Amino acid sequence: MPATDSDGPVADPEAQRRHPLLFKAVTRRRQPRLRRTDITVTDEAAVKRAVKAASLGNAMEWFDFGIYAYLAVTLGHVFFPSGNDTVQLLSSFATFAVAFLVRPLGGMVFGPMGDRLGRKKVLALTMILMAVGTFAIGLIPSYASIGFWAPVLLILFRMLQGFSTGGEYGGASTFIAEYAPDRRRGYFGSFLEFGTLAGYVAAAGLVTALTTWLGSDTMEAWGWRVPFLVAGPLGLVGLYLRLRLDETPAFQKLESDSARASEAADAVETSTKGDLAKIFRQQWPTLILCIALVGAYNITDYMLLSYMPTYLSDELGYSETHGLLILLLVMVLLMLVITQVGRLSDRFGRKPLLMAGMLGFFFLSLPAFLLIGQGGIPAITAGMVMLGLSLVCLLGTMSAALPALFPTDVRYGSLSVGYNLSASLFGGTTPLVITALIGATGSNLMPAYYAMGAALVGVIAVACMKETARQPLEGSPPSVETPEEAAEIVMAQAPEPKF
């Protein structure tokens, strides 16, 4: 019985030597050369509109998550019984983590839906749900008013936030990756995380301004509601921008190819259950790699951008405003350099930039936290900048690297499942785990050790991934910026003339 591979039977080498022309013709039929019409020539104005809409949605998502993280101490007092401050803080962070427990469910629902119905429709839906969940938190009465029902409602709306977020990152990063030309995917992808930082900066800036203006007592009485209520109008703006977009070129090509497939083939993957089975059955090695990458990235991300203000106030005794102002400065610095990191990943590759970020956290976390522990604005700022520069290598590269791990027909679903499983297990639990570790050991250096462990896993994951910079997405034709580039690709396939 002849050997086979994924393309069919493998011919006997002796037969190939006897009939070379015949086997060349068979190979060409199996793997036909690209025609000019197969290659996507991007419209820069359309790419910029897509990047803007996807990035704004991501900014809103992290604005919503950021205000909860930065108001964790206040929300602990408002929604949980008075008593031990540490218990209140742990309760608040546990509620923060609850949103991450349902994120994988959101990813399993919205991801396959985005692969079947389109990226645009699902991203509009996730935007609506996120805005509703955040706005509703701002309306919940306090524990002093309705008792037990206050934390119950908080948990309910946090779960709605988490469920909608399950479809957000995978969809937004897929959307930008499929719109961007192959040679600039890192640059355009970096704007997604620019949106992440913008959301955090807006959240930290608003919370800091309100705390300074109103004072802690007024913030606890009603001021904390303002940032949550702002999310409603922001959500409407984001929804308007997303609904104005066209579907991605890669998905349109996939749809047109699917329309020519037989009805029997279409019937196989018409349910979410069927899509998920396909993802876990065919993509499990890449899913494991994705989970490891995202786990290392999320732990370091949430440690710096979400947990650090609480660490400075609760563990080191600084005022809440003090910690937020320093973090604001660091995040603005990262926003200034993140798109340049994206450009570097296009030029030198995703792996070198990701490896630099992981090694940065592994070697610099302990010195950074020792500096932060010394106190004083210069030392704290220097320590946070060290961590921030390591993080920006991941932020500026990951949104282009992750979508390229999976083929077009299961990209949204696979990335949503892998990303949200990892974010649920490692990202959202980071503040809770670090607070518990410090409580158990009494050491203020536990965040550094936790980040170093995550970075070590990240180093191994980056070493195992393949380089995808400047290459077409798997399952999609090449995407270029000009007709001249498309012509070059077609000409490059032409056989060498023989004399």
- Closest CA relative to residue 66, chosen from 239, 197, 230: 197
pLDDT in the model for residue 5: 44
* Chain segment 218-250, per-residue pLDDT in tens: 888 899 899 989 888 888 887 887 787 777 777
Q: Are 68 and 206 in contact (CB under 8 A)?
A: no
Average pLDDT, the chain: 82
* Chain segment 371-406, per-residue pLDDT in tens: 998 878 889 989 999 999 999 999 999 999 999 999
Task: Evaluate if residue 33 carries a pLDDT over 90.
Answer: no
Direct distance between the N- and C-terminal alpha carbons of the chain, in angstroms, rounded to an integer: 41
pLDDT in the model for residue 20: 64
CA distance 137 to 278: 37
DSSP 437-480: HHHHH--TTHHHHHHHHHHHHHHHHHHHSPP-TTSPPTTS--EE
Q: Which tokens sit at 148?
A: 């037990």
CA dihedral 300, 306, 308, 314 (to 10 degrees): -130
Weakest-pLDDT range from 90-94, 105-109, 200-204, 257-261: 257-261
- Closest CA relative to residue 110, chosen from 130, 131, 135: 130
Residue 233 backbone dihedrals phi, psi, to 5 degrees:
-60, -40
One-letter identity of residue 232: G
| Strands 8-9 and 40-41, bridge-based pairing | unpaired
pLDDT in the model for residue 264: 36
pLDDT in the model for residue 234: 82
CA distance 436 to 243: 43
pLDDT in the model for residue 169: 83
pLDDT in the model for residue 266: 43
- Compute the average pLDDT of residues 466-490: 83
CA distance 397 to 330: 19
Greater pLDDT, 253 or 379 = 379
* Chain segment 109-131, per-residue pLDDT in tens: 988 888 888 788 888 888 888 88
Weakest-pLDDT range from 77-91, 146-160, 281-295, 438-452: 77-91
pLDDT in the model for residue 8: 47
Task: Evaluate if residue 261 carries a pLDDT over 80.
Answer: no
